[in-house]
Structures are given as structure tokens and as C-alpha cells.
Amino acid sequence: MSEDQAVSVIVLRSSSSGNSTLIWNSKHAILIDCGLGPCVTEGLLAPHGFSIRDLSGVLVTHAHIDHSKMTTIERLFCHEIPVYCIPGVKKVIMRGLSHKYKTRFRTFARDPFTIGPFTVTAFPVSHDAEGGCVGFCIATGDGEKRKKISLVTDYGMPDDRIARSLCDSRLILIASNYCAKDD
């Protein structure tokens, strides 16, 4: 496998204090969620040879602060790094940001889109997040060389839709919530 085809993944942090996952190849890096402060994010990217300025884009799963920290989003926009999210998530995040950032978000619906060599497909996830919540499938390559990485975070109830989205993944990252119901 050539270096261009190699894809690496590292969970920079996964906790109620902040979430962020880095996916990269030899030329492009994307972040899934930016729930850590900009200085912490920079510190976690550095050992892997990256800074915020090197990112090709950031995907946001939902608008909870541990997945989409305002100060980090502002820093990303200052460096002209695209931030991708569904329209409902943009609406919620914009409440905490200066209006000058309104046009900086890149929103998407159901259609796959690309960030560098990565084809991104979002799918809905059941979570109590205002504005909605999505998981992501990130694919590179074609045919036998195709690699698909899938991430689902904070989902409450698994369903067939999620299962179908995760099929054929080489790597699946899952973070789930548990909430006991009072009977």
C-alpha cells in the first residue's frame, strides 16, 4: 500500500469534557467534532504532525458543547478551515457565534460530499441534541482499495439505519449513551 492510500485514525479525546477524532492520509487531515478548546486541540494534533491550520475540514456530529466548542469553531474560521454540519446544527451553533460567521459553515443534507480524497456520507443518529445528530462514513479509494471508516457518537438506540450505514466498514468507532428509564 502506498503512503497516499494509507489512512490513519486516532481518537484525540472522547469524554464528556470534549470529543475529537483525527483521520488523515499523507496529504489531508480531517477532524470529526471539535469539542475541545483550541489550545488543547493544537496540543493533541501536534504529536501527529498537524496543527489546526493543516486541517482540510471539520465535521460536526451535533451541537452539544463537548462536540462543538465555540472558541474552537471561531479559531477554525480564523484559519479559513471549513466546518461541515447539518442545517439544524448550524442554527444551534450560530446562537453562540458572531453573525459574521454565518456564511462560513458548509451545510449538507443526505448526499455524499468530498473533503480532499475523503468521501463523506452522513446518516441520522438518535440523540437528544437540538438541531439533530449525525454519524459519518468516510471512504477513500475505489473497488478493492476502498477503505471505509465509520463513526457514531452519543447514540441512544441502535437501529437498522445505523447498522446499514456501518456495513462494509474497515473500522467502526462507536460512543453510546446509557440512560436508565424509571419504570
Contacts of 53 (CB under 8 A, 6+ apart): 79, 81
- pTM of this structure: 0.91
pLDDT tens digit string along 52-87? 999 999 999 999 999 999 999 999 999 999 999 999
Q: Is 78 helix (H, G, I), strand (E, B) or coil?
A: helix
pLDDT tens digit string along 121-167? 999 998 888 999 999 999 998 888 889 999 999 877 778 888 999 99
Q: E-assigned strands of the chain? A: 8-15, 18-24, 29-32, 57-59, 83-85, 105-107, 113-115, 118-124, 134-140, 147-155, 171-176
Distance CA 81, CA 17 (A): 23
Number of C-beta neighbours around residue 23 at 10 A: 24
In this structure, the strands spanning 118-124 and 113-115 are antiparallel
Distance CA 111, CA 163 (A): 18
Q: What integer best gives the mean pLDDT of the chain?
A: 90
Distance CA 1, CA 94 (A): 42
